[in-house]
Amino acid sequence: MNRSDEIFQKHLLDLADAAYQRGIVTFSDFMDLNELNIFHHTVQKFSYILWDTFGGYESAERQIAAFLPDALCYEKKYPVACLEIRPLNKKFSDALSHRDYLGAILNLGIERPKLGDILVEEDRAYVFCKDNMAEFISEELTRVRHTSVLCKQVPMGEFSYTPRTEMIRGTVASVRLDSVLALAFRSSRSSLSGWIEGGKVFVNGRAVLSNGYNLKEGDVVSARGLGKFRYLGMTAQTKKGRCYVDIEKYV
């Protein structure tokens, strides 16, 4: 663990300790995959207190942590807001990407840990942020690239999202991580081994460094720079011992 990771781990422990000592709920900022990995490897150190994570919707990748001194009196109100960003005039709007929306918000002076996932649809985007940032972003974000936009807050209870996915079916030598990863991203096992060994592949939010890690049904795999998929399981075996597997890939 490098110095910045150690500092982040200490920050988590400080939040847990504050919740326990003061009897209040404390929250982290949004954590990326690496920070979530540190979080999951640290939970044993704050076993004296309850905790939970949330990112605004069920399959959120970036999440905040809540440390709970008393779960019975906690209503699970997270300091998370959802913003909808759409062009003022769709006819004259650019084709905007995740990077475009993120860049426009960061240019307002917002730090990345204050932002959760950005979900880009054909004619709009949904952005999750810390709730104390929502009003400022809504008022100040008027342009994304060359497109004039309207940004407004969406009540969390009214937000619903169904991710776009594609089914991938194929055969692999085994259900090892490197084999299934190669099928999901249509690449070779050898070209992806560096991704795994370099700590860029996460299974259920935890970094997995072994190419030979065996996936289990329902595992969610995220690879930095490549994408994310859910391993649905093995459906059959060929006479030569290869495995038929199903993958739900997020697109």
Secondary structure element (H or E) that encloses residue 8, with its range: helix 3-22
Confidence of residue 172 (pLDDT cuts 50, 70, 90): very high
Question: What's the rounded Cα separation, in Å, for the pair 32 and 43?
Answer: 16
Q: Report all structural domains of the chain as residue ranges with CATH numbers, in order of start.
A: 3-73 (3.30.1370), 80-158 (3.30.70.330), 165-250 (3.10.290.10)
- β-pair partners for 149: 87
SS3 239: coil
Question: pTM for this structure?
Answer: 0.85
Averaged over 24-35, what is the pLDDT? 94
Strand order, beta sheet including 201-203 = 165-172, 243-250, 227-237, 220-223, 201-203, 206-207
Confidence of residue 77 (pLDDT cuts 50, 70, 90): confident
- 84-133 pLDDT, tens per residue? 999 998 887 888 999 999 999 999 999 999 999 999 988 899 999 999 99
Percent of the chain scored above 90 by pLDDT? 75
Neighbours of 95 (CB within 10 A): 8
Question: What is the structure's pLDDT at 159?
Answer: 84
SS3 152: strand
Percent of the chain scored above 70 by pLDDT? 97
Work out the angle at residue 31's Cα, subtended by the Cα atoms of residues 28 and 36, and round it to the nearest 5 degrees. 105
